[in-house]
Amino acid sequence: MIRTLVFMVLLTCTLGSCVVVKEYEKVAINDPDMLLSEQLCDRNLTTMHSYREAAAGANGGKTGGGCGCN
Amino acid sequence: MEEKLAAVVGVIKLLNICHAQYALKAKRNYSIPNNKPSFLFMTKTKINIALLFFLTSFQVFSQEQVDTSQDYKKRVLETVEVNILSSYYSQDGDNAAVTGGKGTEELTDATGTIIVSIPLNDDDVLTIDAGVSAYTSASSSNVGPFDGNNAADPFVASSGASSADTWANFTVSYSHSSDDRNQIWSTNLSISAEYDYFSVGFGGAYSRLFNEKNTELSVHGSAYLDTWNAIYPIELRPFEPTGNGLSNGLFLDNTITGNTNYNPKFIPFENENRNSYTLGLGFSQILHKKVQGSLSLDFIQQQGLLSTPFQRVYFADVADSFIENFQLADAVEQLPDSRFKVAIGGRLNWFLNERFVLRTFYRYYSDNWGITSHTANFELPIKLSDKFTIYPSYRFYHQTAADYFRPFEVAVSTENFYSSDYDLSEYVANQLGLGISYTDIFTKAHIWKFGLKRIDLKFYKYDRDTAFTSSIITAGFNFEVY
């Protein structure tokens, strides 16, 4: 019974995530602050992080190469 | 479409006529009670309902096949856009890699970049990105600390040529979108140069949108083919194969104290190439009218000279040698000539209401040098009005140390790989930020033909749990060209 309940919850979440938002419903989604990337003005900040930190990648910034940084 | 509807209606009418004929015959042959619905009537109703559903579904599927060749196609980019970015960065600390992990890390950098996006036609955009970064550094000035002015000291800047440098970059990108805007191809080429480093890079990307543009899958790849112009600490240069060692003028003009039999472990790097290759995958999904998220996965392979030639290392098993207050290098850092990195990151943005948006980011990173890290970033844009928005933010970062990291004077001369670069050490960093933006979508303010669309101004303070601290102020100006 519990397994079934968990399965239904997961299934509902999955199906819910596949909701189709129409173009005319995307007013909030199209807000500039909802962009799924760093803002352009933060590019130099991201570059600084790649110079000073070991981690790189998965954020649209430098991943390696282009300069003598790690 | 109307013809198809008329045909189906005609079929219904024909069936009703046939059914009526059949019912009349049946009624003559069977006795049917007056107060009960005729089973023939029920059957007729069912048939009509079934046909009605069929007609409805027929309409739905027909909509998928509507000829779109005459539909309006919005231009990918309406007009030329110009972005001007600038930043001023400063840092300081006590663990300079140039002086083996002990010394001033003072550095300032000013960067200016211009990005011009040009629509070539409805589907194609050409982007030109050019930037210059100029830095001055007390840390890098100590590549050659013996300038004859002040006593050489790892915590005092010298006036050597290495105290400043300029990095310039030029990148050109081209992107093409399909007519339905569901597919986007792009490619880019970049060139960068500074005094001791030259880079040529190229790459490409492909994105596919599905599900009425609610879902996006992307793949990108890039390669950088770089070359060092290796510069070594000044006291090591006389020990190159063609050098004259302790007979060099540097050691004749200055007095070595401590271990006077100075004999560093130094062989210049034969291969000065460094190549970096990246393959990335991306997935984004609109989860709700007000929520969307994305996942990114990057694989990075670096090969070649991954050490920084002018970063000193001091050995615990070798006696120290000094000129003035400056400890002479026992070696330069030695790192493997290969490094493989994996980074996986996710973003989740939530439009809370007309005033607040929550932007979140998390990344896990791991490489084969033993470093793993966690990054978490939170930003809360707050719309003060339709033109002004403020951006408070917080970022957390933690990394473990590289296998080859050795603090100041901990490495031993028998090891193959060692580095005292504290950027490869274990630490925690916290960053606070605050920004403000001005947006005018109608570009009322303009300079000549450049309509000002947006101004961004942000300040960030970054502190590690060591003595390292930095700050950066960034500005961005977005123009549309009439």
Complex ipTM value = 0.81
pLDDT tens digits, A51-67 = 999 999 999 888 888 88
pLDDT over 90 (residue B4): no
Cβ(B215)–Cβ(A17) below 8 Å: no
Query: Rounded to an integer, what distance in angstroms lies between the CA atom of residue B314 and that of residue B307?
Result: 15
Q: Specify the pLDDT at position B5.
A: 56
CB contact under 8 A, A58 and B226: no
- Assess contact for B451 and B480: CB atoms under 8 A: yes
Cβ-Cβ contacts under 8 Å for B473 (sequence gap 6 or more): B87, B88, B457, B458, B459, B460
Nearest chain A alpha carbon to B190:
A66
Which residue out of B286, B332, B377, B455 would a mutagenesis test of the A interface target, given it has the greatest number of A Cβ atoms within 10 Å? B286
If you average pLDDT over residues B433-454, what whole number do you get? 89
Flag the least confident range among B45-59, B172-186, B278-292, B395-409.
B45-59
Which of B86, B89, B217 should we substitute to test contact with A (largest number of A Cβ atoms within 10 Å)?
B89
In A, what residues contact B, Cβ < 8 A?
Answer: 16-23, 25-26, 28-29, 31-37, 39-45, 48-49, 51-60, 63-68, 70
Average pLDDT over residues B142-156: 87
Average pLDDT over residues B426-445: 92
How many angstroms separate the CA atoms of B442 and B452, rounded? 9
Asked if A44 and B89 come within 8 Å (Cβ–Cβ), the reply is: yes
Q: Where are the alpha helices (DSSP H) in B65-167?
A: 138-141
How confident is the model at residue B362, as a pLDDT? Answer: 98
Per-residue pLDDT tens digits for B456-467: 999 999 999 999
Give Cα B121 to chain centroid, integer Å: 28
Q: Which percentage of chain B shows pLDDT scores above 70?
A: 85
Which residues of chain A are under the pLDDT cut of 70?
1-18, 70
Which residues does chain B have within 8 Å of residue A40's beta carbon, measured at their own beta carbons? Answer: 83, 85, 115, 456, 476, 478
Q: How far apart are the first and last CA of chain A?
A: 53
CA distance B146 to B153: 9
Nearest CA in chain B to A52: B423
Q: Could you tell me where the DSSP H helices lie in B228-339?
A: 249-253
Rounded to whole angstroms, the Cα distance separating B357 from B96 reads: 39
Distance CA B82, CA B451 (A): 10
Residue A46: which H helix or E strand, with range? helix A43-52
